[in-house]
């Protein structure tokens, strides 16, 4: 078991290095990061409107809480009378009064 | 967003109600299968409403089964549903189609002709000229060539200086301008005389070519030779030299007008009673509706024409003509002698001035009131003018 653990740790380290390299490359070539690094792109208009691009799926949807799964963890949006205005496979638009936005690992 | 909504309206969408425990899963599967969802509202736990396109809705059944959700349609919106509702109504559709076709056919004919700008020349003369060329209400409008018609009219009718034919909708507008009638012009190289075109007393005579035949102060009659174009040559009296006579012959002319002085004026007053006779006009047919002769002894007839039109241009061949009879009552009123005299003088002056040609200068005017044998007065107006009375006339000489 301990052997396995070290192995997985090693793997993770390798992966991290890979990401670092990718990030550097993206920065160098000025490529859009949300595509190269598979990150969600989040756009907010005040606290009324929130657009999440490049997401994986919704985990929880409620009037005052929405949790969205992305490639890099979960985004939790809390607010009042939240409505999914539009949803496609690429982007998600949330309307309502947004109170907080959190990133959960 | 407006465009998005408009597009959705055209494509058609349904508002659905979903009840189940795995609503998030339901939404995720929909998005993964490229089904567009919008306006998702969570009502309570395990219930939500959303909007979905028709195409998306058709693919919803397996997803609902998989996630164990119940789907209910709340509302159908958009153009496809609206059209579907009318699909069954064949007569309605047929009626709409017939209407459009009929409307198109009706508007490809000329239904009314308007003549504007004419003062002296009667509208009927122009209309007659149009009719001769085949332009009349009911004629197919694409056959008409406005330019050609305008050219023909201007040649056809004397005294028109400008004609424009406009085809607007179902209406033909003929715009005309009247010009002064010109005497036939004799070319300069042809010999001619100058004769008087009316009676008068010569005030001055200036000859540029030819030989004067009258002196200042002489009275001339219409047609009298004023300036001769043939100049006799000494020694050869039989074959005088022929020239194109030119000159200005100013003469005093008089114009007279008279009108009796009326001490009693009959005024017509409408009593307020009226009678309408309606005539329905369909194409060029007239259908009289319950016509009855007005039973008034003295009446005034006014014709009001109303035709159905869309806007100003698109006149349809349906109309209504109202013949309205107003009953009149004659009321005699006394007028003071001074007022009556003034009225009569005004009318007499207008009568006299009607004949004064353009270019004549008014020198003097005289108003007289003459009493005739019956004791009635007549206003007599004489206007004295100064004008060129010379007019060229061919003398036929070589």
- Residue A38 pLDDT greater than 50, yes or no: yes
- Please check whether residue B49 lies inside any domain of the structure: yes
Q: Do A87 and B27 touch (CB under 8 A)?
A: yes
Residue A29, classed as helix, strand or coil, is helix
Which pLDDT score, from 0 to 100, does residue B234 have? 76
- Residue B297 pLDDT greater than 90, yes or no: no
Residue A8 shares a structural domain with residue A43: no
- Residue B302 pLDDT greater than 90, yes or no: no
Residue A56, classed as helix, strand or coil, is coil
- CATH code at position B140: 3.10.20.310
Structural domain that includes position A54? 39-104
> SS3 helix, strand, coil % of chain A, rounded to 5?
30, 50, 20
Check: CB of residue A11 under 8 Å from CB of residue A5: no
Q: Do B42 and A88 touch (CB under 8 A)?
A: no
User: Which ipTM score applies to this complex?
Assistant: 0.74
Residue B259 shares a structural domain with residue B323: no
> SS3 helix, strand, coil % of chain B, rounded to 5?
25, 45, 25
- Number of structural domains found in chain B: 4
- Please check whether residue B88 lies inside any domain of the structure: no
- Closest residue, chain B, to A59 (C-alpha): B24
The residue behind tokens 């009321």 is B331
- Closest residue, chain A, to B45 (C-alpha): A62
- Please check whether residue B358 lies inside any domain of the structure: yes
Residue B229 shares a structural domain with residue B371: yes
- Residue B278 pLDDT greater than 90, yes or no: no
Residue B33 shares a structural domain with residue B78: yes
Q: Do A87 and B23 touch (CB under 8 A)?
A: no
Residue B26 shares a structural domain with residue B143: no
Residue A75 shares a structural domain with residue A100: yes
- Residue B342 pLDDT greater than 70, yes or no: yes
Structural domain that includes position B293? 269-328
**Which of A54, A70, A86 best probes binding to B when mutated, by most B CB atoms within 10 angstroms?**
A86
Q: Which of A43-52, A72-81, B34-43, B339-348 has the lowest mean pLDDT?
A: B339-348
Residue A27 shares a structural domain with residue A44: no
Distances (CA, A) of B12 to A92, B35, B52, B251: 22, 14, 9, 90
**Which of A57, A77, A79, A81 best probes binding to B when mutated, by most B CB atoms within 10 angstroms?**
A57
Residue B162 shares a structural domain with residue B306: no
Q: Do A61 and B40 touch (CB under 8 A)?
A: yes
What are the tens digits of pLDDT across the range B38-90? 999 988 778 999 999 999 999 999 999 989 899 999 999 998 888 888 777 88
Check: CB of residue A101 under 8 Å from CB of residue A73: no
Residue A63 shares a structural domain with residue A99: yes
Residue A24 shares a structural domain with residue A66: no
Considering only CB atoms, which chain B residues are within 8 Å of A83?
39-42
Tokens standing for residue B19:
């009840």
Q: Do A87 and B34 touch (CB under 8 A)?
A: no
The residue behind tokens 């301990």 is A2
Residue A69 shares a structural domain with residue A88: yes
Q: How far is B24 from chain A (nearest CA, A)?
A: 6
- Please check whether residue B45 lies inside any domain of the structure: yes
- Number of structural domains found in chain A: 2
Residue A31 shares a structural domain with residue A50: no
- Closest residue, chain B, to A87 (C-alpha): B37
Residues of A with CB under 8 A from a CB of B: 57-63, 82-89
H or E stretch covering B26: helix B23-32
- Please check whether residue B30 lies inside any domain of the structure: yes
- Closest residue, chain A, to B33 (C-alpha): A89
Residue that terminates a domain, selected from B178, B201, B224 = B178
Determine how β-strand B112-116 pairs with β-strand B171-178: parallel
CB pairs under 8 A between A and B: 48
Residue A30 shares a structural domain with residue A44: no
Q: Running DSSP on this structure, what letter comes out for residue B187?
A: P
- Considering only CA atoms, give the Rg of chain B: 42
Q: How far is B82 from chain A (nearest CA, A)?
A: 25
Tell me how far apart the alpha carbons of residues B49 and B175 are, in angstroms, rounded to a whole number: 66
A60, A83, A87: residue with CB nearest B31: A87
Give which of B53, B67, B71, B64 is closest to B25, Cα–Cα: B67
Which pLDDT score, from 0 to 100, does residue B291 have? 72
- Please check whether residue B273 lies inside any domain of the structure: yes
What are the tens digits of pLDDT across the range B138-154? 888 888 888 888 888 88
- Residue B224 pLDDT greater than 90, yes or no: no
Considering only CB atoms, which chain A residues are within 8 Å of B41?
83
Residue A27 shares a structural domain with residue A49: no
Residue B151 shares a structural domain with residue B273: no
Tell me how far apart the alpha carbons of residues B359 and B180 are, in angstroms, rounded to a whole number: 12
Residue A31 shares a structural domain with residue A43: no
Residue A44 shares a structural domain with residue A10: no
A82, A84, A89: residue with CB nearest B34: A89
């Amino acid at each position: 078991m301990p052997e396995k653990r070290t192995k997985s740790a090693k793997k993770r380290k390798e992966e991290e290095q890979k990401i670092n390299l990718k990030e550097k490359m993206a920065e160098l070539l000025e490529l859009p990061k949300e595509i190269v690094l598979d990150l969600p792109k989040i756009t907010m208009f005040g606290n009324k409107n929130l657009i999440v691009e490049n997401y994986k799926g919704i985990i929880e949807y409620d009037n005052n809480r929405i949790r969205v799964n992305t490639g890099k963890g979960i985004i939790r949006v809390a607010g009042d009378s939240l409505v999914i205005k539009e949803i496609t496979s690429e982007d998600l638009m949330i309307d309502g009064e947004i109170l907080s936005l959190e990133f959960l690992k | 967003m407006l465009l998005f909504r408009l597009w959705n309206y055209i494509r058609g969408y349904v508002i659905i109600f979903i009840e189940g425990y795995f609503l998030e899963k339901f939404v995720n599967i929909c998005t993964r299968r490229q089904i567009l969802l919008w306006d998702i509202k969570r009502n309570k736990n395990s219930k939500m409403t959303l909007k979905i396109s028709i195409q998306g809705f058709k693919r919803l059944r397996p997803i609902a089964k998989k996630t164990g959700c119940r789907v209910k349609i709340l509302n159908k919106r958009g153009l496809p549903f609206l059209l579907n509702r009318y699909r069954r109504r064949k007569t309605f559709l047929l009626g709409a189609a017939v209407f459009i076709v009929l409307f198109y056919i009706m508007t490809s004919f000329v239904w009314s002709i308007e003549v504007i700008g004419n003062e002296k020349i009667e509208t009927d003369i122009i209309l007659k000229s149009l009719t001769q060329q085949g332009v009349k209400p009911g004629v197919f409008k694409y056959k008409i060539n406005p330019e050609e018609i305008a050219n023909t009219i201007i040649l056809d009718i004397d005294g028109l200086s400008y004609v424009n034919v406009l085809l607007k909708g179902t209406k033909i507008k003929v715009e005309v301008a009247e010009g002064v009638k010109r005497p036939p012009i004799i070319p300069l190289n042809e010999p001619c005389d100058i004769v008087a075109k009316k009676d008068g007393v010569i005030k001055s005579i200036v000859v540029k070519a030819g030989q004067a035949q009258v002196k200042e102060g002489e009275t001339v009659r219409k047609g009298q030779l004023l300036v001769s174009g043939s100049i006799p040559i000494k020694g050869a009296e039989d074959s005088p030299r022929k020239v194109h006579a030119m000159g200005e012959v100013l003469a005093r002319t008089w114009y007279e007008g008279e009108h009796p002085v009326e001490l009693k004026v009959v005024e017509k007053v409408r009593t307020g009673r009226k009678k309408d006779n309606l005539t329905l006009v369909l194409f060029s047919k007239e259908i009289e509706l319950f016509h009855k002769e007005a039973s008034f002894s003295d009446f005034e007839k006014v014709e009001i024409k109303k035709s159905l039109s869309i806007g100003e241009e698109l006149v349809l061949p349906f109309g209504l003509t109202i013949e309205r009879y107003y009953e009149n009552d004659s009321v005699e009123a006394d007028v003071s002698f001074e007022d009556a005299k003034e009225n009569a003088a005004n009318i007499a002056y207008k009568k006299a001035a009607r004949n004064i040609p353009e270019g004549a200068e008014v020198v003097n005017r005289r108003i007289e009131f003459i009493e005739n044998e019956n004791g009635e007065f007549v206003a007599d107006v004489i206007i004295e003018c100064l004008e060129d009375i010379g007019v060229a006339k061919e003398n036929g000489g070589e």
